[in-house]
Amino acid sequence: MTTAPGRSPARTLITVAPTGAETAKADVPTLPTTPEELVETAVACEAAGAALIHIHVRDSDHRPTLDPVLLKEAVVAVREATDLVVQLSTGGAVTDPLEQRLTVLDADPDSCSLTCGTTNFGDDVFLNPWGFMVDLYRQAQECEVVPEFELFELGHVHALRRLIDECGLPYGDKVHVDFVMGVPGAMPGTPQTLLAALALLPAEVTSWSATGIGRTHLPIAAAALSAGGHLRVGMEDNLVFAKGQPVTHNKELVSRAAELATIMQRPPMSTEEARELLGVKERRAR
Ligand code: KMH
Ligand code: ZN
């Protein structure tokens, strides 16, 4: 675990979460929801400095879906067009049944999100009961898929401790955590909360990133860089680039994160370095 400024990683992992499940295409027409838009976004974000992509798939009506065929097509298409580490969301939308969320790994991603507990999610509840977490984690170990532990709450940090104690380390022996901060009703997107969460991290954690939702996006990025963390950005988390200036393309957020990281003397890491950092299994066609 790296928190002391003097021990910050030399380079920054930038994750892009381009779509999410919450925003309607009708409200934000620039949101990448079609397969073509997803691939175009992935290519542009890789060029801008991203090394990992967190994917939620939409159907032909632009609605969130966990359709196994569409998930597999997205994984294959992004893998063909880029060298990004391909992470599928197992969180889906708040309306997705747990059983269906347990089928996501059939699409053979490099990585998957794994949220460490139930949380308030705006007006909704994002369900992640203990049994579901264990089933998903064991599946990821069996399929040799690297989990990214998503922590929305301080209690989720404690649940990660319990998960490692009961189930051991992930495939590849690396433990990568992403703090998702500032979701209404979950932990606030403040530097103070980030530092409190870092103090609770299990010693087995080998890397961590953070993202702030909405207006907490930039403060959390700056705090994460200062504290030795990596960055997640993207239209899943933030649709406003600056006051009065909507995000029009995910690459804007990735470019800004890359600039910020470079100013902080921790430029973006390559996809190869990201694979090493996360302990990803080789799945690319040779
Ligand atoms: N859409 C949220 C309910 C994840 O991708 O794993 C869950 C989410 C987390 O976005
Ligand atoms: Zn997500």
**pLDDT tens-place string over residues 178-213:** 999 999 999 999 999 999 999 999 999 999 999 999
Q: Is the pLDDT of residue 28 over 70?
A: yes
Distance from the alpha carbon of residue 128 to the mean position of ligand 2, in angstroms: 14
Structural domains of the chain, ranges and CATH numbers in brackets: 14-277 (3.20.20.70)
In the block, residue with structure tokens 């049994």: 131
| Rounded average pLDDT over 143-171 | 98
pLDDT bracket for residue 77 (50, 70, 90): very high
Distance from the alpha carbon of residue 203 to the mean position of ligand 2, in angstroms: 25
Q: Is the pLDDT of residue 266 over 60?
A: yes
| Rounded average pLDDT over 94-116 | 98
Question: Would you state the pLDDT for residue 1?
Answer: 46
Best probe residue, ligand 1, of 114, 150, 151, 156 (max atoms within 8 Å of C-beta): 150
Q: Is the pLDDT of residue 6 over 90?
A: no
Token pair for residue 175? 């433990």
Q: Which amino acid is at 229?
A: G
Strands of 132-242, DSSP E: 146-151, 176-181, 207-212, 230-233, 240-242
Best probe residue, ligand 1, of 23, 89, 123, 136 (max atoms within 8 Å of C-beta): 89
Q: Is the pLDDT of residue 65 over 80?
A: yes
pLDDT bracket for residue 2 (50, 70, 90): very low
Best probe residue, ligand 1, of 55, 112, 126, 137 (max atoms within 8 Å of C-beta): 126
**Ligand 1 atom nearest residue 54's Cα:** 5
The β-bridge relationship of strands 124-126 and 119-121 is: antiparallel
| Rounded average pLDDT over 106-118 | 98
Mean pLDDT of the chain: 97
- Read off the pTM: 0.97
* Euclidean distance between CA atoms 118 and 38, whole angstroms: 28
| Rounded average pLDDT over 160-187 | 98
Distance from the alpha carbon of residue 19 to the mean position of ligand 2, in angstroms: 8
Ligand showing the shortest atom-to-Cα distance for residue 125: 1
CB proximity list for 55: less than 8 A, separation 6 or greater: 18, 19, 38, 74, 75, 78, 86, 87, 88, 89, 109
Token pair for residue 118? 């139930």
Q: Is the pLDDT of residue 58 over 60?
A: yes
Question: Would you state the pLDDT for residue 7?
Answer: 77
Distance from the alpha carbon of residue 93 to the mean position of ligand 1, in angstroms: 6
Question: Would you state the pLDDT for residue 286?
Answer: 72
CB proximity list for 43: less than 8 A, separation 6 or greater: 81, 82
**Ligand 1 atom nearest residue 124's Cα:** 3
Q: Is the pLDDT of residue 250 over 80?
A: yes
Distance from the alpha carbon of residue 54 to the mean position of ligand 2, in angstroms: 7
| Rounded average pLDDT over 149-158 | 98
Distance from the alpha carbon of residue 144 to the mean position of ligand 1, in angstroms: 21
Question: Would you state the pLDDT for residue 285?
Answer: 87
Question: Would you state the pLDDT for residue 107?
Answer: 98
| Rounded average pLDDT over 249-253 | 99
**Ligand 1 atom nearest residue 96's Cα:** 3
